[in-house]
Amino acid sequence: MPSAMEGSEAGEEAEILRYEETEDDNVSPTDLSELLKEGTKESHDRAENTQFVKDFLKGRIKKELFKLATAALYFTYSALEEEMDRNKDNPVFAPLYFPLELHRREALVKDLEYFYGEDWKEKIQCSEATQQYVDRIHHVGQHEPELLVAHAYTRYMGDLSGGQVLKKVAQRALKLPSTEEGIQFYMFDNISNAQQFKQLYRARMNALDLDKNTKERIVEEANKAFRFNMQVFDELDKIGRSLTEEAQDGGVPVHDGKGDLRKCPYYADKLGGSRA
């Protein structure tokens, strides 16, 4: 894939791409992971082509906008993990409950403290688009917990895939410390091998005792999750255009914006299977 990264970093990105293209011969077309991959292709295409994601991948991300995006993630994951905790013993979701490995809320708190200071809670607010996403997550967790699978899948698996590319983009474009302050969200310290973990997650997801109708509803909900994410992207893009021009922290793109733009945190079919 074309990239403005040089040396070892370019090699690392290529390695991610090769891993993501690896075929898994142990899946069936009726497995939930396959249904999700096939059933959300159009949503993937739209998400990867939002202006916010394309600009981010090119290293065109203002620090103020990155801070707002981090706040949006905080509200989103707070809702998601609250509902996951609520349903941790529910058989329709329990096999996918990995709080130690996956939960992001505390990491986002660290990032917000870095960007906003100790009084960060007083400086952030939940945007309109984010609130709609949050409301949907709470509704699902409380009334249709089987659909929580779709939201966990869409978020966490993408974070473990394309999110790792965005980590490097943000760190370089914004000149964030090498000690990883400000990007704790992307750090999964309790997952030693992302590929193996995603394979485990997919196997757990495929083993859920779900009928055909429920699987179809989960796919539909995953498409809704993508739409909510895209609404947040669009909202951030509008805010970004209204911000006064500021010096880009870094200035030099770390990705040329061409090739496989599916490397975004919401491109969730990267579960160790084939590319969509």
Q: Which of 151, 161, 138 minimizes the C-alpha distance to 205?
A: 151
The domain covering 27-241 belongs, at the CATH homologous superfamily level, to Heme oxygenase-like (1.20.910.10)
Phi, psi of 88, deg, nearest 5: -65, -20
The pLDDT of residue 272 is 35
Compute the distance between CA of residue 231 and CA of residue 100 in angstroms, rounded to an integer. 29
Does residue 262 surpass a pLDDT of 80?
A: no
Q: For 140-172, how does the pLDDT look when each residue is reduced to its tens digit (9 = 90+)?
A: 999 999 999 999 999 999 899 888 889 999 999
Q: For 218-255, how does the pLDDT look when each residue is reduced to its tens digit (9 = 90+)?
A: 999 999 999 999 999 999 999 998 886 543 333 333 34
Those residues whose C-beta lies under 8 Å from the C-beta of residue 265, and which sit 6 or more positions away, are: 155, 158, 159, 162, 163, 166
Ramachandran region, residue 250 (left: φ > 0; alpha: ψ -120 to 50; beta: rest): left
Q: For 86-135, how does the pLDDT look when each residue is reduced to its tens digit (9 = 90+)?
A: 999 999 999 999 999 999 999 999 999 999 999 999 999 999 999 999 99
Compute the distance between CA of residue 6 and CA of residue 144 in angstroms, rounded to an integer. 47
In degrees to the nearest 10, what's the CA dihedral of 171, 188, 276, 28? 170
Which ranges in the chain belong to alpha helices (H)? 7-20, 32-39, 41-48, 51-57, 63-86, 99-102, 105-116, 128-143, 148-152, 158-159, 162-173, 194-206, 212-242
What separation in angstroms does the CA of 244 have from each of 139, 174, 232, 240, 241?
Answer: 37, 17, 20, 8, 8
pLDDT above 70 covers what percent of the chain? Answer: 79
Q: Which residue has the tokens 């309109």?
A: 128
Q: Give the distance, in angstroms, between the CA of residue 199 and the centroid of all CA atoms in the same chain.
A: 17
More confident residue, 246 or 83: 83
**What is the chain's Cα-based Rg?**
18
More confident residue, 222 or 270: 222
The pLDDT of residue 244 is 61
Compute the distance between CA of residue 68 and CA of residue 228 in angstroms, rounded to an integer. 16
Does residue 276 surpass a pLDDT of 80?
A: no
Q: Give the distance, in angstroms, between the CA of residue 195 and the centroid of all CA atoms in the same chain.
A: 16
Q: For 164-207, how does the pLDDT look when each residue is reduced to its tens digit (9 = 90+)?
A: 889 999 999 999 999 999 999 999 999 999 999 999 999 999 99
Q: What is the largest CA-CA distance in the chain?
A: 53
